[in-house]
Every structure is written in C-alpha cells, then in structure tokens.
C-alpha cells in the first residue's frame, strides 16, 4: 500500500511546495498568480501546476476567480469567524483523542518543538515561529490517529495561514505569549481536561490576536 519508490512525482512535489508556501505565508492574499508564472518559478511545466491548483482549490486554500485567475481568498470578518468556530469545534476534539497516545517521549518532543518556537519568536523569525506552531499542533493531532478529522483540520489551517502571516508582518510577534507550555504541563500530569482547555486557549488567543488586528490590514 505504501509508495515503494521514494522519488516523488513532479505533481506531488509541486503540491507540497505550493502547500508550504501557502501555509507559512509566502503567498499573501490579494495578489493574483498565473499558472505559467508558478510553473516557471518551480521549474516545471504548467500541467502539474494546474492539477495542484485544482487540488488546493478543493481544500479552500486557493480561489479560482470569475476571470479565471487564481489567488488566495480574501479574508472577511464573517469568514474569519467561521474558521475560528470550526477550529474550536474540531481541534480540541482531535487533541483529546490524541491524549491517550502521547507518551513521555512525545511530551519531550513537544517541549523541544516549543523551545525552538520560542527561540524563533524571540528572534522575530516569523516563518520559524509559524512552522514551530504548526509542528506543535500537528504532532499532537496526528497522534489522534483519525485521518478523517485530521484532513478537515488541515484544510482549516490552509485557510487561515496566509492571514496569520499578514498580521505578524504588521504587528510583530512580541505580544504573543506561549500557551504551549501550559499544554505540555497538562500532558505531564495526564490531565485531560486541562490539556483540552490549554489547546482551546492557545487557539482562542491566536485567533483573537489576529481578529483584533484585522482592521489594520
């Protein structure tokens, strides 16, 4: 069932490249992209780019406009609240499911990821912070061993990633404090409720931060 040959298809590597760009804010909303332009910047023909764009459009990470141009969807207050709402429903659920599969080793891994994230935060390294934050959450979520919920949450992260970056670009990362440590402490105590609450708080805090600054954009 697994991919034996570890050489990825051009299609797959194109997808991963574009997905990362979106997730960590290298492609910002508003600007329109051309298929040929993306293809050239990735050194491939337009064909795999087109398929990748269709795929990312299905995940709501990209938008095919009426004039057939492709872009990152614009954020509205309404859509922002919808994403926040969906995240608050699904992510604490996923975290709770993951809890029983998180052993001491994983907790140490999480603490390590968090340290790196903190370092990036202090240095003002935006991409490092965003990657660390992503790793922290998805290291947990993957352990829920629930691919159906996981793919729904992945779609949500693809949808708000670009805006997170946009906000950090304007405000810097100073005002963020770190809820991850609260979460790892709850894990060490095997306190399921406290862990779920920490994930919710972390998410609330991030979304409030972004939401409060949306008017600046």
58 touches DNA by CB under 7 A:
no
CB of 101 vs DNA, minimal distance in Å? 32
Helix (H, G, I), strand (E, B) or coil at 70: strand
Q: Which residue from 41, 47, 112, 119 is in contact with DNA, where contact means CB under 7 A?
A: 47
Residue 215 DSSP class = G
User: Quick one: what does residue 36 bind among its own copies, DNA, none, with the CB cut-off 5 to 8 Å set by partner type?
Assistant: DNA
- At a CB cut-off of 8 Å and minimum separation 6, what does 113 contact? 132, 135, 136, 139
For residues 122 and 174, give the distance between their C-alpha atoms in angstroms, rounded to a whole number: 8
Q: Tell me which of 16, 36, 54, 69 binds its own copies, using CB under 8 A.
A: 54
Asked whether 88 and 80 are in contact (CB, 8 A), the reply is: no
Minimum distance from CB of 19 to DNA (Å)?
Answer: 15
Nearest CA-CA partner of 46 in 14, 21, 20:
14
| Binding site residues, DNA, CB under 7 A | 5, 9-12, 33-37, 44-48, 50, 64, 67-70
| Binding site residues, its own copies, CB under 8 A | 1-4, 11, 50-52, 54-60, 65-66, 79, 82-83, 85-86, 89-90, 93, 146-149, 151-152, 155-156, 159
């Amino acid at each position: 069932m697994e991919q034996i040959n570890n050489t990825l298809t051009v299609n797959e590597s194109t997808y991963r490249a574009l997905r990362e760009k979106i997730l960590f804010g290298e492609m910002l909303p508003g600007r329109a992209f051309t298929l040929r332009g993306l293809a050239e910047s990735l050194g491939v023909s337009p064909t795999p780019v087109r398929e990748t764009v269709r795929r990312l459009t299905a995940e709501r990470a990209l938008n095919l406009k009426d004039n057939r141009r492709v872009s990152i969807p614009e954020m509205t207050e309404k859509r922002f609240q919808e994403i926040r709402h969906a995240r608050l429903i699904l992510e604490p659920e996923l975290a709770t499911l993951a809890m029983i599969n998180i052993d001491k080793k994983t907790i140490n891994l999480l603490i390590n990821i968090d340290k790196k994230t903190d370092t990036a935060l202090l240095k003002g390294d935006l991409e490092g912070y965003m990657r660390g934050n992503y790793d922290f959450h998805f290291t947990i979520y993957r352990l829920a061993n629930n691919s159906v919920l996981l793919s729904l949450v992945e779609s949500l992260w693809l949808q708000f990633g670009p805006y997170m970056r946009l906000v950090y670009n304007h405000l810097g990362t100073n005002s963020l404090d770190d809820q991850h440590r609260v979460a790892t402490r709850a894990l060490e105590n095997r306190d399921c409720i406290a862990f779920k609450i920490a994930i919710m708080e972390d998410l609330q805090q991030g979304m409030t931060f972004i939401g409060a600054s949306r008017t600046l954009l």
